[in-house]
Structure 1
Amino acid sequence: MGSNYGYCLVCFLVILPAICYSQDFTYSRATYYGSPDCLGTPTGACGFGEYGRKVNDANVAGVSRLYKNGTGCGACYQVRCKAPQLCSDDGVNVVVTDYGEGDNTDFILSTSAYARLARPNMALELFAYGVVNVEYRRISCQYAGYNIMFKIHEHSRFPDYLAIVILYQGGQNDIVDVEIWQEDCKEWIGMRRAYGAVFDMANPPKGYLTMRFQVSGSAGLKWVQATNAIPGDWRAGVAYDSAIQLT
């Protein structure tokens, strides 16, 4: 692991700004996975696909206990390493897109994210460590110009099987449940968490779909509704704008 870290020196790294810090740092360890293009992986356990490869300028991470059976997918963290002579003061802000276990680590960072831990011109020395001591804290995800998107997972089969993944969830929020309004029965029908951030349902309602998702955040649990969020002729691989964003 990590044999391709030299490529990362040519990557252009831009980090989304972190605001609204609300927790003390937790001490842990972090490592990285090799990637010739410095990006994330499209096959991560969260089910994000290409979004998981490129979101946040590919500053992404696989996590172990922070994965929380998929509920932790999409969460944002500030991670900074603890070797003063090598590590930058701010570290890197990452988005959780995968599950991964390392050598007593909480984070397995993309190559670009691991390089961002280092001071200027010190990335190669930091990669040589392989595993570093870090401190981290949860931060608000910020996606300027993006609303929450409902992406129809590629495994969906119109009209008999619908699987979705929720992208660009802002703030410090975890999405714990998703439901679809069944108009003929006048009731909400729960979707199953298939894996990671992917929710699915066999024989979904016909026509425009009104969704609601339950959010766990600083204000406790709340339901957020997106009316007619997905058209009746939905197609696999397409992402639909919810017109709402969490803060």
Structure 2
Amino acid sequence: MVFNNSHCIIFLLVTIIIYPSICYGQEANSLYSRATYYGSPDCYGTPSGACGFGEYGRKIYDGKVSGVSRLYRNGTGCGACYQVRCKVPGHCTDEGTKIVVTDHGEGDHTDFILSVRAYSDMATSGMANHLLAYGVVDVEYRRVPCTYYGYNLMIKVHEHSRFCNYLAIVPIYQSGAFDIEAVEVWQADCKEWKGMRKAYGAVWDMPNPPKGSLTFRVQVSVNGEATKWVQLADVLPDQWKAGIAYDTYLMLD
């Protein structure tokens, strides 16, 4: 195909018009805040995070996890993923780091209190120690879908559960960009859904749960707007055990 001068001029004009709009669209999805980090012996997260994830919350995403302040949203923000990029000239990669919210914390006007692994992951090669020396940095961030290759959504029975008098559950490997707003369990003898209480963080509980295998449904939302109920059939066996994570065979995308 042969391009004459008029074709080149038209192509250049289209590029000039479209390219800034693409860049603007990407920037429009980003927000700005500050980030700091917390120490741990092995640079991973902490198993005692406010979301109630336990050991899962320590090493998920290879320990690239974070406590958040406003984004915690009374626990609804637990399990959400964000791309966080620092804004220190000459120190930061364009990609930044991708983190999972596993804890709540307040810092020096910061939205993110990152694990050392996550904080260092924002740095260009050889600049991690220099970035750590700042202590607090300006960041750009945006919500991104969580991706867990090889894992479906799982329902972990919290260690504080007591068969069969008290049941607490924690959804883990929550993919996509959904928030779980409500959880209900099917009570077969009454033919009705019974709501679970938001105990704290990502933990939902109820006294005297129904007998037999348990079916749940979760109400999921995007950007704070409730979208739909998703049913999780026969997730827990009739002899469920505390501390065990049960596969739902479902991915929330």
TM-score (norm 1): 0.90
In structure 2, what residue type is equivalent to 1:217?
A: V
Percent identity over the alignment is 65
Q: Deviation per CA, 1:21-76, whole angstroms, max 9, x where unpaired?
A: 89611000000001120100000000000010000110000000000000000000
Partners of 2:130 and 2:41 in 1: how far apart? 18
1:236 pairs with 213, 235, 242, which one?
242
Instruction: Give the aligned partner of residue 146 of structure 2.
Output: 141
Instruction: Give the aligned partner of residue 219 of structure 2.
Output: 214
Partners of 1:23 and 1:75 in 2: how far apart? 20
Across the aligned residues of Structure 1 and Structure 2, the Cα RMSD in angstroms comes to 1.3
Aligned length: 227
Partners of 1:22 and 1:131 in 2: how far apart? 22
What is the CA distance between 1:126 and its match in structure 2? 0.4
Instruction: Give the aligned partner of residue 43 of structure 1.
Output: 48
1:109–1:229: structure 2 CA closer, same or farther, 3 Å change rule? Answer: same
Preserved CA contact (<8 Å) 2:153 2:249: yes
Partners of 1:151 and 1:196 in 2: how far apart? 14
Instruction: Give the aligned partner of residue 100 of structure 1.
Output: 105
Preserved CA contact (<8 Å) 2:32 2:141: yes
Partners of 1:209 and 1:230 in 2: how far apart? 5
Aligned ranges 1:84-233 → 2 under 5 Å: 84-217=89-222, 220-233=226-239
Q: Does 1:64 align with 2:64?
A: no
Q: Deviation per CA, 1:81-115, whole angstroms, max 9, x where unpaired?
A: 00121111110000000001100000000010000
In structure 2, what residue type is equivalent to 1:102?
A: G
Unaligned runs of 5+ in 1: 1-20
Partners of 1:42 and 1:191 in 2: how far apart? 24
TM-score (norm 2): 0.88
In structure 1, what residue type is equivalent to 2:118?
A: A
Partners of 1:238 and 1:147 in 2: how far apart? 15
Q: Name segments (4+ residues, structure 1) moved above 6 Å.
A: none
Partners of 2:122 and 2:36 in 1: how far apart? 11
Instruction: Give the aligned partner of residue 17 of structure 2.
Output: none
Instruction: Give the aligned partner of residue 251 of structure 2.
Output: 245
Instruction: Give the aligned partner of residue 7 of structure 1.
Output: none
| Structure with greater helix percent | 2
What is the CA distance between 1:181 and its match in structure 2? 0.2
Partners of 1:158 and 1:229 in 2: how far apart? 16
Mark the structure with the bigger radius of gyration: 2
Preserved CA contact (<8 Å) 1:182 1:205: yes
Instruction: Give the aligned partner of residue 12 of structure 1.
Output: none
Partners of 2:145 and 2:215 in 1: how far apart? 27
Partners of 2:185 and 2:226 in 1: how far apart? 22
In structure 1, what residue type is equivalent to 2:53?
A: F
Unaligned runs of 5+ in 2: 1-25
